[in-house]
């Protein structure tokens, strides 16, 4: 169903969705009515989110006595100082897919955490590597919504509200508290996850851009109702304030036959993003490429911005076209879904990652600078590339996993070592 933040309604069986009221004395098909609230009841209308679910068993039957569960690679903020890697700009090659059977959940590895999960501020960045389906396993995350960015291999995300197939170039968002299971469409899978502890992602305001372009609402897709009427033992795993818990169930919790409301998962094809950029000279700030933003409460200061660097035409005259050199109060975690990133043509490979933390300088490597400073500025199409950034107002603290990761590049800083002094006191500088 198309649209961002719409009030949807859908039923997998005819007449399963009550009409005219939410809570009839007896719901159709003997279903249980249940509300799932993603905002406080009293949130303003524009941010008030809830859905009504009509299900075979109520959620209290999909939860029993909890036991502790260990998922040691999945960390939550605050998680500070558990490694000794000095401060610096960092870059990693891709994380390899393990040989042993690993599900989407078991394959989640936290790279950075920011803010504080207990105060619902900040976020975490993760990579996932998987080669096994979650079989008879279900999960929900009370700590935040999950923005999933597949990089290699598609995933099928079966949620309480419906099923989404998500392949590289697409993303999906699973709301806080929603139960789901992940299966692999291609045998193995790798990707990135942003766990948003704070207010939900929404579309950025466009200001003078007007009513169209960037991510358009109609390109977001929410699944129709789909249910499993499956008896038999299964596990529900829960992340709650950074800890993990599990409980045994007697039947699938994905048993919602009909639902209506605006608290729902969605997917989005990054190829449908309509970029806006420089058509005469200079380069706008990268915020021009924001797909989704999660506000922090302070105006213009995002808890998270999800930004992409898609295919686009470069036409600026007498301009340095790649992203400029930069220091930033925001902290920037980048990944590459496919192709090459224009400011770093070598060393930053699909599946790789980089981290440019609060106030640490970054920018084009020496080769990129040389090329962009001397090449003829014809209109040029940047093709076959899709990088992205999870950017937050909070410093991103590295996990021990990320600090010790074999694929951490010791030589990343060398990419700037060949930047020469061009200043020689003449107005043109020295370009020999
Ligand atoms: Fe930056």
Q: Determine the distance separating the centroid of ligand 1 and the alpha carbon of 331, expressed in angstroms.
A: 8
Distance 90 CA to ligand 1 centre (A): 13
| 81 Cα–ligand 1 center, Å | 24
pLDDT score recorded for residue 125: 98
Whole-prediction pTM value?
0.97
Q: How far apart are CA 182 and CA 193, in angstroms?
A: 13
SS (H, E, C) the chain: CECCCCCEEEECCCCCCCCCCCCCCCCHHHCEEEEEECCCCCCCHHHCCEEEEEECCCHHHHCCCCEEECCCCCCCCCCCCCCCCCCCCEEECCCCCCCCCCCCCCCEEEEEEEEEHHHCEEEEEEEEEECCCCCCEEEEECCCEEEEEEEECCEEEEECCEEEEECCCEEEEECCCCCEEEEECCCCEEEEEEEECCCCCECCCCHHHCCCCECCHHHEECCCCCCCCCEEEEEEEEEECCEEEEEEEEECCCCEEEEEECCCCEEEEHHHCECCCCCCCCCCCHHHHEEEEEECCCCCCEEEEEEEECCEEECCCCCCCCCCCECCCCEEEEEEEEECECCECCCCCCCCEEEECCCCCECCCHHHHHHHHHCCCCCEEECCEEEEEEEECCCCEECHHHHHCCCECCCHHHHHCCCCCCCCCCCCCCCC
Q: What is the mean pLDDT of the chain?
A: 96
Q: Is 397 a catalytic residue?
A: no
- What is the whole-number distance in angstroms between the Cα of residue 300 and the centre of ligand 1? 16
Q: Is the pLDDT of residue 347 over 90?
A: no
Confidence at residue 288, expressed as pLDDT on a 0 to 100 scale: 96
pLDDT band at 16 (very low <50, low <70, confident <90, very high): very high
pLDDT digits (tens, 9 = 90+) for 371-425: 999 999 999 999 999 999 999 999 999 999 999 999 999 999 999 999 999 999 9
CA of 401 to the centre of ligand 1 (A): 24
Distance 211 CA to ligand 1 centre (A): 27
CA 394 to ligand 1 centroid distance, Å? 14
pLDDT single digits (tens) 53-111:
999 999 999 999 999 999 999 999 999 989 999 999 999 999 989 999 999 999 999 99
Give the distance (Å) from ligand 1 centre to CA of residue 289: 13
Residue from 283, 356, 362, 397 carrying the catalytic annotation: 283
Q: What is the pLDDT of residues 259-283, one digit of tens each?
A: 999 999 999 999 999 999 999 999 9
Mean pLDDT calculated for residue range 345-349: 84
């Amino acid at each position: 169903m198309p649209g961002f933040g719409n009030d949807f309604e859908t039923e997998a069986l005819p007449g399963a969705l009550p009409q005219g009221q939410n809570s009839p004395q007896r719901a159709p098909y003997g279903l249980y009515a249940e509300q799932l609230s993603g905002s406080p009841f009293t949130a303003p209308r524009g941010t008030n989110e809830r859905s009504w679910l009509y299900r075979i068993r109520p959620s209290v039957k999909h939860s029993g006595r909890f036991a502790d569960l260990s998922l040691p690679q999945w960390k939550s903020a605050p998680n500070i100082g558990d490694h000794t890697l000095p401060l610096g700009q960092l870059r990693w090659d891709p994380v390899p897919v393990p040989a042993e059977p690993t599900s989407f959940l078991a394959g989640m590895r936290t790279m950075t955490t920011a803010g504080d999960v207990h105060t619902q501020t900040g976020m975490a960045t993760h990579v996932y590597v998987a080669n096994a389906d979650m079989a008879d396993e279900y999960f929900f995350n009370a700590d935040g919504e999950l923005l999933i960015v597949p990089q290699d291999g598609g995933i099928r995300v079966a949620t309480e509200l419906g099923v989404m197939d998500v392949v590289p170039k697409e993303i999906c968002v699973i709301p806080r508290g929603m139960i789901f299971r992940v299966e692999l469409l291609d045998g193995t899978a790798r990707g990135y996850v942003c766990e948003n502890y704070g207010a939900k992602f929404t579309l950025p305001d466009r200001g003078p851009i007007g009513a169209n372009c960037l991510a358009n609402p109609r390109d977001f897709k929410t699944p129709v109702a789909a249910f499993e009427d499956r008896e038999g033992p299964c596990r529900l795993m829960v992340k709650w304030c950074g800890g993990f818990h599990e409980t045994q169930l007697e039947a699938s919790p994905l048993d919602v036959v009909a639902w209506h409301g605006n608290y729902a998962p969605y997917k989005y094809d990054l190829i449908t993003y309509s970029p806006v950029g420089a058509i005469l000279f200079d380069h706008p700030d990268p915020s021009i490429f924001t797909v989704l933003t999660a506000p922090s409460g302070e105006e213009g200061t995002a808890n998270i911005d999800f930004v992409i660097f898609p295919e686009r035409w470069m036409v600026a005259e007498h301009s340095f076209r790649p992203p400029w050199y930069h220091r930033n109060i925001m902290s920037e975690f980048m990944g590459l879904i496919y192709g090459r990133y224009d400011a770093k043509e070598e060393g930053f490979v699909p599946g790789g990652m980089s981290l440019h933390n609060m106030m640490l300088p970054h920018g084009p490597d020496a080769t990129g600078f040389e090329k962009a400073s001397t090449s003829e500025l014809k209109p040029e199409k940047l093709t076959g590339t899709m990088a992205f950034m999870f950017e937050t107002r909070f410093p991103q603290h590295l996990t021990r996993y990320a600090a010790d990761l074999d694929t951490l590049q010791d030589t990343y800083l060398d990419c700037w070592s060949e930047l020469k002094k061009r200043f020689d006191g003449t107005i043109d500088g020295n370009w020999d």
